[in-house]
Amino acid sequence: MQPRVADLRVLAGALSARTETDLDVLLRLRRVSPSAKLTDFFDLAELLLAEDSLRAALSPLDRERINALATASAQTLSAALTIELSERALLAVPDNTPVFLETVTRLAREISTEAAVLPDSDPAEDPAPAPAGRLARGERALSELVIGLGDTPARELLRGGLAQPELRRLGTELGLDPELIPALMSLAADAQLVTLTRDGWVPTEAGESWLGLDTPSRWRVLAEAWAAGFPAGIASLARINAPFATLLEAGFPAATDPLRATFAQRLTSGEILGVLSHGRLTIPGARILVSPDTLAEVLTDAFPAPITGVYLQHDLSIIIPGTLAPHLERTLRGFADLENRAEASTYRLSDASIIRGLSAGITAEEISTFLEQISLTGIPQPVRYLITRGGERFGSLILRPESGQSALTVTESPLLDQMLVDRNLAALALHRDSAVTAHSRFDPDVVFWALTDARYPVVAHTVDGAVRRPRRRVAPVAIVAETDYRPLIDVLTSAARDTPTETDAAWLTRRLATALRARETLNITVHMPGHGDFTFLLEPTGISGGRLRGLDKAADTERTFPIANITTVSEV
């Protein structure tokens, strides 16, 4: 589908009248490459009206906006919609009057004709409350994901996406089907709780802060990120009580494959989060899309009040009869392993978990004090013994920086013997210096986490010998550098200043070349020296050497004219 010459002329003129700020907004909205080979506004208009570019621009528009473009009636446009469509260069507004572009209208009509029928709202069925416990379980799954990635980053494939082993590992840890993990990871990334680094997917600083919020607040952050993944117009669709997938298909008829893939992930994560149930919006789901300010009133009963007491057992398990207060659970997770997540969750203490807590900076005394404060059954003797033994073992392996590398010191040589033959540590390339010392060329943080993952009782020191408390693996939210459109805008505006009148031969050549590609018939006025001006109904068939060759439709003969003699060009 070639753009019409008339549309190119109208749009190029409208573009040239824009401020540099408005041009910057347009180029970002339409995702124009800053390195695009454009020489003037006619080039830009041609790029924006190309079919692929138009389909991408129409993709996020809802049914109402597509129909407004398809009907091409200014009476159907509100002031706000006119501004929105003009910003995207889907219509022109010279002299504050909307001018529809036939190239856009033609494609919008095609899409509108093929669109699925929007279902009627089911009067017999109002949005249902979320199934009992669904919201809490959804929030819990995301919390476990963020915490788990802090312990073990999820590796990303070079081609994108997580490898099957990673999906299975995360699925097992979260108690979910591995096929659900990509949608969950996408939601966590949209909420800026996790980010991709060279080590894989890890929590962000914002994710760490999020873990400290109360449960309803954590859920709301997730729900807002879920809702933000939909284009404008979703609120009106959410008022219709019908299967949500059907609403998305009919409500966004121009959606391209990438947007459909986003919708598919939102359908999956929505079920996990509880904003959808059996494919339909729940009351919380409808509220977050239609009236998020009223969401708080429906969350009160969705999340039970947090508890502050647990049961410590002689078998080293810790039973939590409800939802533990977030700040208490974060501390507990530092030195206990989650064994079972349910209405009554179970944690377990072990030598490895105690060493992990000690390595992170908490002392044996602090562990005992914390458990005394939250235990409803006191501290059983086996638990006290485990903590004491861990404290005694701790410090048997010291890690400190040395000349840009990592220096290791053990209290007993058998421990170093074991480390040197441990396949889990092979990547550290440990080199023995003496019976109780070794070094690695890798950064101390890398070595620390490798030893921690392999469950060695490592403690990190500074160069001066002070205990260093390493943070969990977190990354700041990635700040994506803004695309710089200044050079491209300078090219376009400079060309506009230097462009002569519309009768300039170069300008006419550009317009005629477009008509040639589109096989479009034009009214062409040519000045004949000594004879005056003559208008021909001409279909261009070739341009070369500064001359236009075309078929004269009225005389059914081929004619050739110097482009310099052409005074005006208009569409039939």
In a domain, 485, yes or no: no
pLDDT at 479: 57
Which one of 350, 383, 416 terminates a domain?
383
* Single residue among 114, 142, 174 that ends a domain in this structure: 114
Count other Cβ atoms within 10 Å, centred on residue 412. Answer: 11
* Lowest-pLDDT choice from 79-88, 203-212, 452-461: 452-461
Mark whether 200 and 321 lie in a shared domain: no
151 and 273 part of one domain: yes
Range of the domain at 89: 5-114
Q: Is residue 445 part of a domain?
A: yes
pLDDT value at residue 30: 94
pLDDT tens per residue, range 402-434:
888 899 999 889 999 999 999 889 889 999 999
- Choice among 35-49, 122-136, 254-268, 494-508 with the minimum mean pLDDT: 494-508
pLDDT at 219 over 70: yes
Six-digit token pair at 158? Answer: 């070079």
Residue 476 lies in a domain: no
- Rounded average pLDDT over 203-213: 90
Same domain for 39 and 182, yes or no, is: no
Confidence band for 365, pLDDT divided at 50, 70 and 90: very high
- pLDDT at residue 162 tops 50: yes
One domain for residues 356 and 252: no
Residue 476: its pLDDT value, please?
60
Q: Are residues 409 and 557 in the same domain?
A: no
Q: 324-350 burial by CB neighbour count: b if 16+ within 10 A, else e?
A: bbbebbebbbbbbebeebeeebbbebe
Q: What Cα–Cα distance (Å) separates residue 450 from each residue in 376, 419, 445?
A: 36, 11, 9
More reliable by pLDDT, 261 or 396: 261
Whether 305 maps to a domain, the answer reads no
Q: What is the pLDDT of residue 268?
A: 96
CB atoms within 10 A of CB 359: 25
Do 212 and 281 share a domain, yes or no? yes
What integer pLDDT is reported at residue 260 of this predicted model? 95
Q: Is the domain of 288 the same as that of 419?
A: no
Chosen domain end from 361, 383, 405: 383
Residues 100-134 have pLDDT tens digits of: 999 999 999 999 999 888 887 665 566 777 776 78
- pLDDT averaged over every residue in the chain: 87
Percent of residues, the chain, with pLDDT higher than 70 = 94
Torsional sign, CA 84, 90, 95, 97: negative
Residue 261: is its pLDDT beyond 90? yes
Identify which has the larger pLDDT, 131 or 85. 85
Q: How many CB atoms lie within 10 A of CB 398?
A: 18
Same domain for 411 and 357: no
Q: Are 277 and 160 in the same domain?
A: yes
CATH code, 514 = 2.30.30.100
Q: What is the pLDDT of residue 265?
A: 95
pLDDT at 503: 38
pLDDT value, residue 456:
84
| Model confidence pLDDT, tens digit, residues 114-123 | 988 888 766 5
Is residue 501 over pLDDT 50? no
- Give yes or no: residues 429 and 322 share one domain: no
Based on the structure, what is the number of domains in the chain? 5
In a domain, 470, yes or no: no
- Contact, 40 vs 492, CB < 8 A? yes
